[in-house]
Chains A and B, each alone.
Chain A
């Protein structure tokens, strides 16, 4: 750990985060904008980069192979077609020699192609995840921002609303709204749209219940930021509330928001798969990763691949998002100084023998 210098401590008294940012700025990032620093740190985070690469790969594979939004994909089967069993349904792909084969992930009992089903499931899960992230992030930012900036009765009303929702465990609430999203009444206005895009409805509904945690975090961030000098300065020079919120406070709170939206998204994948597993999320004939695991768990002894592949994709997606979130947190949090242990030990030894000059850790 680096020893805080006198200068650092002075700065720390002014504002902790500002001090750390200055310290970080004095390393290798001088002259760079906030965005550039964050980008530089994020791309220096190995785990996050691997996570990003894996997620991009899965995303491309899922959306191009079986096609999406009415565009046909390059894979010859889709998730409902039944074809004759090849090799009794066992996976035809092999690592050595590398071969893809007719049904790389195998087939289920009636001959549907598991690769197509898994890809379709991954599509659905990613769609739900992105929708939950986007909607929860937007509502959370608006509610938290308004409550934190305006205080008074706005805050009282919004935060009591948040309390009402946060007291219901998310999985239970999600189960209820999942059930509502699956309701198919004759003649209801949702019916026509939902018949084709059931998963979109599910994502939207789940988004409407997962914003509460984000709202609390954003409010906390706004509460501290609105007391800062630059907000006072802006107000004195006649800036409107909207301008202060969007130009002065929001850019400073965006780190907290992005990091937590990412973490919400990784939880959303598990939420969606769990709901589908319980029979409250995506329903047959459409498919999702959780539903595939649920349908095929009984067949584990005879057709284990039906169980392995969907499960592995859930883990891969969730793991990569978690790593991206971790990288983003390190990148946005100026206090979390990510550095190599060896350098740190050397720096500490160095600084204990000589006068404590600027001894910020090297690397980022």
Chain B
């Protein structure tokens, strides 16, 4: 095992050397860094050109320059020496500094989108695999192909137009005409009626109730101007929490496990009480506090599950912990909604909350909630765009993986020994289907940092992709190399993790050392 890892790391280092040499030469070859100066009519043209030649060391041939760069980069390997030198970019800024800033921007952009895409994609994949060849399956498959074929820059422009400009216009006077409310309700009702499956009667009942509920909620929102002053309140949190408790219990242990259901419901009760208790605390919130509160919520849930006990203590603990986390999330969402009117009327935002470009409103000031809302409103459009284009591959992959597993002999054995369909799917099929998905996810996380180039360009986020493209357009190899190093190293590390995870998860796969 150790031999294997060491060998992999040595090969990886050699590959990295080769690839970095290739990228450096190609970048240096791709254009003329002095081109804009050659055509300029500035009186001190020659001085500017000399300065740039000096800065980029253009008198040295590119292959030699690579080794100079490598000498600087090698110092990064010495721990705690602080002598990391990746060169400077065309405006004289050290690359290490620029990279640090860009990395934060990119990670903020892609983290949420990736997590959501993975969650939604895997759930859709499982549902479509369980309902193979149903209308839902065909619909989702077609949508997957469609999303797969969407150019992200095109989606982004549409989102900017309808998601930001349109929605902001709507917020100016958030009244939904009754016809529109009925229409939205009807569309959602038809979609659920198609999606639920089963007998026609069941489809009609479910679709009809969704239609009625959605239309009524939209009427209510329109009457109370909810979109201007949103909020959940303890009653809604209690109702939604009960729904979450039942849903989580169905998935984790099945409703037959009464102890699990009871512990989840108790947790919801505690959550509603905690809603009042934590409000003063939340007014002083910081990111760390929210994180600690989330951990505390999960611990409380697990503890409730533990003390409720029952014949399967673990299931109760899992169900209650998950419910506690989700109810806690509802409380936080509610607090965000309380901050919404203040954000909306902020002098910098001026009633147009959904932003089309950038990573934050310039010079905005406020407490934790205002700042977080600002980040979220800037992230919402790029996140939707990224989810749309990356959803398809996860859905398709999970579906085929799940279908393959469902035909295995051990699934038939599990059914034959009388297990409920829930435990066959969640316990036997889903866990095994996750093995290949885990490796795909690891690969994708590795490729994540460099993968959002176009999204960053469209939404003017100055992240890694921006650094790369900007360096390339100025024929400046240093930022290009900096981005490449980050991307390549994460990709290699996660490839290794993917291989190790595969052999850890699937005992049939053994690493040959």
Contacts and interface: CB of A to CB of B under 8 A. Distances in A.
A277 B472 contact: no
Interface stretch (B19-27, B56-64, B189-197, B248-256): B19-27
Given A168-B19, A168-B488, A293 B157 contact: yes
B484 interface: yes
**What is the interface residue range for chain A against chain B?**
35 or more
A274 B454 contact: yes
Nearest to B392: A322
A280 interface: yes
B31 A176 contact: no
Query: Which DSSP category, helix, strand, loop or mixed, fits chain A's interface?
Result: helix
B157 A179 contact: no
A297 interface: yes
Nearest to A293: B154
Contact of A315 (B146, B153, B407, B492): B146
Contacts of B15: 160, 163-164, 167
B145 A322 contact: yes
**What is the interface residue range for chain B against chain A?**
35 or more
B487 interface: yes
Contacts of B26: 173, 176-177, 180
B331 interface: no
A143 interface: no
A307 interface: yes
A274 B151 contact: yes
A244 interface: no
Contacts of A326: 145
B149 A318 contact: yes
A314 B151 contact: yes
Given A176-B472, A183-B31, A277-B454, A165 B19 contact: yes
Query: Which DSSP category, helix, strand, loop or mixed, fits chain B's interface?
Result: helix
A171 B451 contact: yes
Contact of B31 (A179, A314, A318, A322): A179
B336 interface: no
Contacts of B31: 179-180, 183
Contact of A176 (B18, B27, B133, B161): B27
A290 B157 CA distance: 13
A321 to B, nearest CB: 8
B487 A341 contact: no
A124 interface: no
Interface in A315-351: 315, 318-319, 322-323, 326, 340-341
B63 to A, nearest CB: 16
Contacts of A300: 157, 161
A168 B450 CA distance: 9
A180 B154 contact: no
Contacts of A364: none
Contacts of B454: 171, 274, 277-278
Interface in A266-324: 266, 270, 273-274, 277-280, 290, 293-294, 297, 300-301, 307, 311, 314-315, 318-319, 322-323
Contact of B30 (A160, A180, A322): A180
A322 B149 contact: yes
Given A167-B15, A180-B29, A273-B151, A319 B145 contact: yes
Interface in B264-288: none
A59 to B, nearest CB: 17
Interface string A178-219: 011001010000000000000000000000000000000000
A233 interface: no
Given A169-B450, A175-B472, A341-B133, A297 B30 contact: no
B457 interface: yes
8 contacts: A160-B18, A165-B19, A175-B453, A176-B26, A176-B27, A315-B149, A322-B145, A341-B132
Given A171-B451, A266-B148, 6 more contacts: A167-B492, A168-B22, A168-B484, A274-B454, A277-B153, A311-B151
Interface of A: 1, 160, 163-165, 167-169, 171-173, 175-177, 179-180, 183, 185, 266, 270, 273-274, 277-280, 290, 293-294, 297, 300-301, 307, 311, 314-315, 318-319, 322-323, 326, 340-341
9 tightest A-B contacts by CB? A318-B149, A341-B133, A179-B30, A169-B450, A164-B18, A311-B154, A319-B149, A180-B30, A164-B19
